[in-house]
């Protein structure tokens, strides 16, 4: 079950499809950043073996997703565009506390980003005509659902289920407000 408190505006699918190369390019950057984020968490918490092992595997998987999306860009005759940044993720990361709650918040924010990515990749996949891009997006949506669960589980392992659930809930409410305030653009977030 998704952590999200609000669905994506249904108009987003048409916007994403209207400039599919831009959407796919943005998605490639999302996968790249997901791999980098996982490795940064590994570097910051080397003494936590379960977290290190899980996030090292995740980084490897995200890197494979990045390459798969790059292949689709090439197949479409497009190149990786410049990274325009991700205002959605930037706003969520501003909610991360410093001090003892920092790791819990980082894991919770990652869970929410993966949840939103899962939802949007599934919406996009369902809207695409049958073929390789549709298959890729539906497959990647399933992977994002697993990543959402992984981060939620790591948050619970770190802080205890009750505290993790409470913080995830509070951040999920904030995430819904962030999504509602952002313009609909041909990008994943």
User: For 78-87, what is each residue's pLDDT tens digit?
Assistant: 999 999 999 9
Q: Please state which CATH number belongs to domain 11-181.
A: 1.20.1260.10
pLDDT in tens, 131-180: 999 999 999 999 999 999 999 999 999 999 999 999 999 999 999 999 99
The two tokens of residue 157 are 């392992």
What is the pLDDT at residue 1?
66
The domain spans of the chain are 11-181
Report the predicted TM-score, pTM, of the whole model to 2 decimal places: 0.97
């Amino acid at each position: 079950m998704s952590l999200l408190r609000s669905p994506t505006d249904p108009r987003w699918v048409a916007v994403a499809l209207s400039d599919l190369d831009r959407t796919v390019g943005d998605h490639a950057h999302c996968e790249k950043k997901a791999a980098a984020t996982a490795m940064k968490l590994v570097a910051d918490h080397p003494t936590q073996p379960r977290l290190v092992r899980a996030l090292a595997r995740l980084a490897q998987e995200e890197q494979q997703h990045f390459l798969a999306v790059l292949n689709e860009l090439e197949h479409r005759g497009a190149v990786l565009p410049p990274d325009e940044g991700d205002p959605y993720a930037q706003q969520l990361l501003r909610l991360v506390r410093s001090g003892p709650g920092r790791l819990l918040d980082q894991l919770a924010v990652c869970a929410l980003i993966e949840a939103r990515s899962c939802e949007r990749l599934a919406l996009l996949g369902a809207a695409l005509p049958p073929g390789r891009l549709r298959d890729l997006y539906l497959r990647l949506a399933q992977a994002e659902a697993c990543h959402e669960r992984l981060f939620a589980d790591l948050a619970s392992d770190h802080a205890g289920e009750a505290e993790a659930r409470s913080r995830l809930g509070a951040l999920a409410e904030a995430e819904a407000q962030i999504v509602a305030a952002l313009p609909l653009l041909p990008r994943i977030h």
